[in-house]
Amino acid sequence: MNNFYFNINTKIYFGTDQLTHLNELKNFGRKVLLVYGGGSIKRNGLYQKVCNILRNNDLEIDELSGVAPNPKIDTVRKGVKLCKTNKIDMVLAVGGGSVIDCAKIIAAGSCYAKDPWDLIENGKKIESSLPIITILTMSATGSEMDPFAVISDLSRNLKMATESQYIRPKLSILNPEFTFSVPKKQTAAGIADIFSHTCENYFNNVKGASIQSHFAEGVFRTVIEFGPIAYNEPNDYIARANLMWASSMAINGIISLGNEVAWSVHPIEHELSAFYDITHGVGLAILTTYWMEYIINKDPKTIDKFVQFGKEVWKISDKNKPLDIAKISIEKTRAFFDQLNLPNKLSQVNIDNTYFEKMAKKASCSSGFCPLSKDDVLEILKMAL
């Protein structure tokens, strides 16, 4: 286990009836920028509840609505302008990862003199931020408790992640009931995203970080158990609650600290989204098992970790040979995504090989669990076609 620094300073209020804690926003000032997406929070009544509580606490509300999935830099720029002009004190995101990520860069961009895209290209340029508060409505990205934000500039086919401790939310409210209205397709995509974050952190080459590995195996098992229940019974509180906490735990640092983690499937998926604006979790569901198959063939040293994955997560008998355990675990992973009706081929989401060369060149996967060259990425994309 490597050395690490641990300080996750996001205050979490988890469960039902937690919205009253919005009164704590008074500690951050008086003017709130309320950021939300395409209207789901108006349809399920959350918007009105939030506004009522803010007003009852003498907080003044400005709004930025219409944040699209795979949030765009132009929306960030609009939000930064609003914050600077109206002297906003804090940014409150109510939504999924896209809304939260957009709010994060608005909050950081409001404390930055130049164009906020600089902050996406280089997270070190984020030296301060307005306080960020989130009300999560969809279990997926973990943005509610992590230091990342992912923003796109589709005019240049760019989708990039940035990282800074300044953009970790100060406070997040996680009520599983707020996710009851998430459509099936988004529920499934969110499950694939949580599963993938856990993979990205779990598959690494550091020895001896057992607590992190076993924690990750717990997250996998939770997602495998409760994902299909939430998918089939959207109002099942226990299933939604477990997915919601898994969303945060998969990426907040608990399972990556003490490891050497460099992600492999996400950089490839971000290229798919940059060119085709597809749903993030859908892209991950398609790519994950092809990446697994490719790396066990490329480097047999990777098989050991797949044996652990197979035995601990999928309960595959160790009477099987190591390579067979690895292969069965990949089959089981694919069957899990199939169960959620997630596509397993790029052609199913209308992606052909037109941009494969460009994508493979841009995707940076050279330092992951199994380092991948441009040609390796190209092969994985072809397998997924």
Residue from 96, 116, 267, 310 binding ligand NZQ (CB under 6 A): 96
Nearer to ligand NZQ, 110 or 141 (CB): 141
116 binds, among Zn ion, ligand NZQ, none (CB under 5 to 8 A by kind): none
Is position 172 an interface residue for ligand NZQ (rule: CB under 6 A)? Answer: no
Residues in Cβ contact with 94 at an 8 Å cutoff, skipping those fewer than 6 apart: 34, 35, 36, 41, 46, 47, 50, 134, 135, 137
- Given 10, 70, 222, 289, the residue binding ligand NZQ (CB under 6 A): 70
- Asked if 101 touches ligand NZQ (CB under 6 A), the answer is yes
The residue type of 367 is: S
Alpha-carbon distance values, 21 to 11, 115, 195, 309 (Å): 11, 33, 30, 39
DSSP 79-121: HHHHHHHHT--EEEEEESHHHHHHHHHHHHHTT-SS-THHHHH
User: Which of 101, 144, 146, 193 is the binder for Zn ion (CB under 5 A)?
Assistant: 193
Kindly state the DSSP code that residue 72 receives in the 8-state scheme: B
- Report how far residue 207's alpha carbon sits from residue 214's, in angstroms, rounded to the nearest whole number: 13
* Among the residue ranges 126-134, 148-156, 311-319, 327-335, the one whose residues contact ligand NZQ (CB under 6 A): 148-156
Query: C-beta of 347: minimal distance to ligand NZQ in Å?
Result: 22
Does position 175 interact with ligand NZQ (CB under 6 A)? The reply is no
| Closer to ligand NZQ by Cβ: residue 79 or 96 | 96
Q: Residue number with the shortest CB distance to ligand NZQ? A: 37
Nearest to 10 by CA among 29, 24, 20: 24
Smallest separation, CB 303 to ligand NZQ (Å): 26
Out of 168, 170, 240, 266, the only residue in the binding site for ligand NZQ (CB under 6 A) is: 266
Q: How many residues does the chain have?
A: 385
Q: Would you say 127 and 88 are in contact if contact means Cβ atoms under 8 Å apart?
A: no
Of 295-354, binders to ligand NZQ (CB under 6 A) are none
120 binds, among ligand NZQ, Zn ion, none (CB under 5 to 8 A by kind): none
Instruction: Count the alpha carbons within 13 Å of 28 in the hemisphere toward its beta carbon.
Output: 25
Short-list 323, 305, 185, 189, CA closest to 247? 189
User: Per CB under 6 A, does 368 bind ligand NZQ?
Assistant: no
**Cβ proximity to ligand NZQ, 42 vs 301, nearer residue:** 42
H-assigned helices in the chain: 40-43, 46-56, 73-86, 97-109, 117-121, 184-202, 210-232, 237-249, 265-276, 280-298, 303-308, 322-339, 356-362, 374-384
Q: How far is the CB of 319 from ligand NZQ (least distance, A)?
A: 36
Residue 75 in contact with ligand NZQ, rule: CB under 6 A: no
Choice from 32, 140, 209, 360 touching ligand NZQ (CB under 6 A): 140
Residue by residue, what is the 3-state secondary structure of 361-382?
Answer: HHCCCCCCCCCCCHHHHHHHHH
Tokens encoding 216: 């990750």
User: Residue 156 in contact with residue 73, Cβ under 8 Å?
Assistant: no
CB closer to ligand NZQ, 178 vs 309: 178
For the segment 188-247, give every residue that binds ligand NZQ (CB under 6 A): 190, 193
Taking the complex as a whole, how short is the minimal distance between the CB of residue 146 and ligand NZQ, in angstroms? Answer: 5
Nearer to ligand NZQ, 280 or 334 (CB): 280
Taking the C-alpha atoms of residue 360 and residue 10, their distance in angstroms, rounded to an integer, is: 36
Q: Angle between the 265-276 and 280-298 helix axes, to the nearest 10 degrees?
A: 140
Nearer to Zn ion by Cβ, of 50 and 254: the residue is 254
Which residue's CB is nearer to Zn ion, number 88 or number 194?
194
**Minimum CB distance to Zn ion smaller for 103 or for 251:** 251
Torsion, CA 274, CA 170, CA 145, CA 148, rounded to 10: 30
- Residues near Zn ion (CB under 5 A) are 193
- Residues near ligand NZQ (CB under 6 A) are 37-40, 44, 69-70, 95-99, 101, 137-138, 140-143, 146, 148-150, 178-179, 181-182, 186, 190, 193, 251, 266, 280-281
